[in-house]
Amino acid sequence: MASLSDYIESYLKLLLSSVPDDWVEIRRRDLAERFRCAPSQISYVLTTRFNIERGYVVESRRGGGGYIRIFRLGAAPESDALEIVRGAVGDSIDRKAADDLIARLAELGALSAHDAAFVRAAVLEGDDGRQPELERIVRARVLRATLLFVLTQSTTE
């Protein structure tokens, strides 16, 4: 329990806790140099430790003056609701399963009635039922994004 990835993770979290805003900007190359590792390792740490399921969003730009920005969202990463979302929404989901999931989260108290209605609306947006396969994919992506958004927004305080 002391891998290089762990050190990089700690370092980034320390960085995040030391700034007033909830985001930091780094350069992949510099960080790799500081830890004497391959640049791709930084990418590895970011995808495994700073993904959306853990409460972070990463944004980057390539090319000259490129950067990586890490945003920390407000949620407790180990909350039950996030666990459920992580497990329940795959790459593809049908309408009923999506609806059930939303209902279940509302029941758990993770989603207010208001939020549940909005998530449901977003997920059904543009669903004309003509391309079932496409719909399943879109539904999964929208569902995951909106749920994570709501869940990481509302538990901030």
Strands (E), 13-156: 23-26, 56-61, 67-72
* Interaction between residue 123 and its own copies (CB under 8 A): yes
Least distance CB 41 / its own copies (angstroms): 12
* Interaction between residue 4 and DNA (CB under 7 A): yes
Out of 5, 79, 92, 154, which residue is the one contacting DNA (CB under 7 A)? 5
Report how far residue 20's alpha carbon sits from residue 55's, in angstroms, rounded to the nearest whole number: 18
**CA within 13 Å, CB half, 105:** 33
Report whether 57 contacts 77 (CB < 8 A).
Answer: no
* Interaction between residue 38 and DNA (CB under 7 A): yes
Window of 9-17, 32-40, 76-84, 119-127 that interacts with its own copies by CB under 8 A: 119-127
Report how far residue 153's alpha carbon sits from residue 117's, in angstroms, rounded to the nearest whole number: 16
Out of 16, 54, 60, 141, which residue is the one contacting DNA (CB under 7 A)? 60
Out of 51, 61, 90, 137, which residue is the one contacting DNA (CB under 7 A)? 61
* Interaction between residue 44 and DNA (CB under 7 A): yes
* Interaction between residue 23 and its own copies (CB under 8 A): yes
Sequence-ordered list of residues with C-beta below 8 angstroms from that of 144, at least 6 positions apart, any chain: 85, 89
Q: ∠ at Cα 94 (93, 97), nearest 5°?
A: 85
Positions in the binding site for its own copies (CB under 8 A) = 1-6, 22-23, 25, 52, 57-59, 64-65, 67, 69, 71, 73, 91, 113-114, 117-123, 125-126, 134, 137-138, 141-142, 144-146, 148-150, 152-153, 156
